[in-house]
Structure 1
């Protein structure tokens, strides 16, 4: 198939003037002449035009394009790969722009007319999310926000406004109202992340590290610390029957500083467990060592007897541990010798 200049211009989305210019500078000239004298573009000419336009899209000038094609500096497959990468970036940018518009729709739905400041802050927010999450993750979170109003931007702002009111009223983090709000905070983050603990950790990191997001949501670092302390205090109340007040206070203080360390360690162990890694594999033994060190640091507070008391309490409160991803099967995988010893003691007790 051979094309006249007008046909090629229309199919390629170019003007006839552009193709004439390419011909004049020696970049692309029709290589066939018909019996009637028309200059026609052949298959090889069309392929060259594709190369020209592709290289231009990568940001090169026409003189650069001519030099690259003359020197065969870029192959056809590599050029197509570079085009695909560029297109992927454009698609990602378009998806983020769409997310931006969705957020603005939420703003308008509340009856507020977006100002320039709102437009700019929304764009800034989209850029922040892009630093921490993939486009697919952003899309999934956007879908969850659309399905539940409490996960929307307005929903989060209301939650943090409630937390701010408690703090302004000097309500201690030990108050049941603070614990209820902290549980709501954790539960919402869990739902927004689709139950993905790693994503929850990144959500927390984003809120802690980005002042623009803190200002927009109303969640300052001090407020996030308040909610963390409230959640830890309330969730550890179950151990009051096992430990003295001073012992439990020390553990709560240590857990606050290891708030993110434990979930991340549990995730790493769970990944090896789910992958079928042998409990004797070096990676699992290393994880077991990290687990013991973190356990003694957070639950022992430098006191081996306290760590033993907490371990005994956790053995009895298996449901509490299970809700945090730590069940008997995972512990047996991590500490197989302890599991065998526990089973032997259980069998002896049955015989007696």
Structure 2
């Protein structure tokens, strides 16, 4: 039975996007960066795109050649950037990204092939939804598993409410998307406003105004699918006394205002999915991409966690090939933010 407790009406979305400081003041903590030029915004988004792939790799979302992120080009919005086919997510850098037009012609970036299905899907989304600047589709384990039911997730908890009235289902699986008509139908499933969709027998796709928003939605939806599967398994046995208590529409709508906004999702992309596994990349390159720590912070992390590595971390992106050399340790083969000895930059 849905809960009947009404949310506190004196608080609105503005209050939910603020924090109380130590001295009792209030500060807005969720902000999307503003850049002086379209070129600067492009570089920032491409850096976040490469960073999102690194995070996705560490979360186990890489699956062979499947999976793609696209970015509408801020300078020429009728074109977009996409990752190349055949490069592992954990090795992608800004210079690997391919700039293509709506017909699939390469117009800039890396001279590398792209996933045909990925192009068809993302081209259709960017064409139909000018408000969407980024989209993520990967074959993650729990999203792929839940997609077999062809159903949206339930409003089970606060995190599920991020997707209240913002999750579509595309129920027409037709194999690998090689036809433009299939891509168009998939894009149409999002409708005029929704940013997230479950692709039946396929997986999940999320979108947003920034790479950070789309990536954070993907991580959140994958986790929500995991939660849904666990809950369904718990109540599945015959005679189980467990019953689902769903969040009411009123509460879910209210919670969505504070947990699923573009500003909140942007910062969630930075804070919500740091892998705890202790290796060279677990903290350093994640934060470097999203600009959360300065050089002093990186030196502290090095002292606390990575003294077995011959590397000093910098938040400025000032890497050199010599600095990327590490001793043989159990973590020597971890993916390094600068794996190709190339500066990828920070947010």
Higher relative contact order (CA 8 A, sep 6+): 2
Q: Shorter-chain TM-score: which interval?
A: under 0.3
State the TM-score, normalized to the length of structure 1.
0.24
Give the TM-score normalised by structure 2: 0.24
**Structure showing the higher helix proportion among its residues:** 1
Q: Highest CA radius of gyration, 1 or 2? A: 1
